[in-house]
Structure 1
């Protein structure tokens, strides 16, 4: 079976192109976005609206609540269940998103890692992110330099694996087992940096106009006892505003800054991958890229 991956940094234009391709190829779409899994976090994660899907089914969106745990292993298992059904029906699939680890877990497999440990997690929850970062650096400096160390969930998981296995997470995570029969054509969308940053800034302004402040306030009130679990950009900054630590303008500026930094990390991560067909939307039109992907897809299917 064949699959198509549409990857790239936040704000680059993955959604529009993946929808066009899904319509043309008569496929459904699996979201590979680690924040769109959360119910109620719609505006800040740029989640596609039901009326924007053009009737195309999207998977792995709105599947857990913001205070629930959802790991890379959960994603890999959930997606492979979907792929198993697609294979039975001889259906191809598109995976679209910007979480590279999620994508790789499906296209290249995932290593056998220890399950989460509630006792350890309780201990970790009582520590600051800085303390956890120092512990990870001491146990596994390679992971410290590879993962998003500002993401507490990622840091906790890396630490947990190190402690439970007695081995480095950076080593174990590369011993992958692939559990599906799909062969993926992988596409990476980029833009020139300044253009991408401008798009991100405009998108944050649009999110605020769409009601991000009110959405974040609802999350803040509903999950007040577990806000430390919610690390999504766009929400944690507004939580700081609600706590009186930032003005609203400062919070919005910080959302933009963190979004740009995240996009930069995504571009760096994806550029290290060697099996992507790379397109720059600053240099080519979406239609040109669309047509070229279709040509590659036809060759890929043979």
Structure 2
């Protein structure tokens, strides 16, 4: 009998927080659900898009059946036109994790939003904050609305940074706004604050696989999303009155379908563009996680590896907790 199959819920000591991350489409949810078969877990989603209601298919949310089997946090907590930030997630997720510990359950953080995970585990310096999509949106607004509009916006959200920035220096204005909208914290505050590490021990596991295999899985998943009704999902969001300019809708899978609905391309081109942009997004996620400290990389080659990987994770997780108890 394997260690995994013999493990009892009561055998999980300590308060280590396990984080499972990696690029989109690699199998994070499948691994989390496999772990949930053997451990008393509650899942803390670290996905900046799954927080939004009505955006199910394009964000690859866990199914209603999965969420009924295992408690999930930070899914469907906001409408698409509401704002959220990594800083707010970090604060609220720490509170949720402590509540999970009080319920004698095992918090499992699962997601690919690197900035959310960074905020949760370590806090961050302003240099850590990079949101390419948000920056591109701000640059587009600069062209359309002008530098003074963005500068006045900065004056409202971070007057200290605005006082240090010339209105005719749009690069610095955009950077300050990018940091604020990504984290919910003014850049002037981040520049003087030290990072705020999490009040619990953690282990950050990053999944990886050979790039051709990952890209094959991404392409297949995009096709499945369209088969499941991605176009109809986007159409419903627009009919509900949500404008395409929203951050939530200006993301991979949604912006391309909006262009298709606007007759800017045919369906085949739309699908291929979503595949390409998703692969590019996965590449950026790899780059982000390679730049993080204190992560462990776990390679998988195919979905059939998931149960074996789960057994390995539980063995190592249990061992680490056991060792830490002995040190106390």
Deviation at 1:66, TM superposition (A): 0.7
1:94 and 2:108 aligned: yes
Q: Is the 8 A contact 2:88 2:184 kept in 1?
A: no
Q: Which structure 2 residues correspond to residues 289-300 of structure 1 after superposition, within 5 A?
A: 289-300=309-320
5+ unaligned residues in a row in structure 2: which ranges?
Answer: 1-14, 127-137, 151-167, 323-328
Cα distance in 2 between the residues matched to 1:204 and 1:62: 21
Deviation at 1:31, TM superposition (A): 0.5
1:139 and 2:172 aligned: yes
Q: Is the 8 A contact 2:244 2:250 kept in 1?
A: no
Larger Cα Rg: Structure 1 or Structure 2?
2
Q: Which residue of 2 aligns with 1:157?
A: 181
Cα distance in 1 between the residues matched to 2:143 and 2:235: 23
> CA distance change for structure 1 residues 54 and 192 in 2, over 3 Å: closer, same or farther?
farther
Cα distance in 1 between the residues matched to 2:82 and 2:68: 30
1:217 and 2:235 aligned: yes
Q: Is the 8 A contact 2:238 2:244 kept in 1?
A: no
Which residue among 225, 250, 259 is the counterpart of 2:269?
A: 250
Q: Which residue of 2 aligns with 1:196?
A: 214
Q: Which structure 2 residues correspond to residues 47-196 of structure 1 after superposition, within 5 A?
A: 47-53=61-67, 55-110=69-124, 127=141, 138-139=171-172, 154=178, 157=181, 165=187, 175-178=194-197, 180-196=198-214
RMSD of aligned Cα (Å) = 3.3
List per-residue Cα deviations over 1:204-230 (Å, max 9, x = no partner). 000000000100111122234463332
> CA distance change for structure 1 residues 206 and 97 in 2, over 3 Å: closer, same or farther?
same
TM-score (norm 2): 0.74
Deviation at 1:23, TM superposition (A): 2.6
> CA distance change for structure 1 residues 165 and 227 in 2, over 3 Å: closer, same or farther?
closer
Deviation at 1:233, TM superposition (A): 1.1
Cα distance in 2 between the residues matched to 1:156 and 1:111: 12
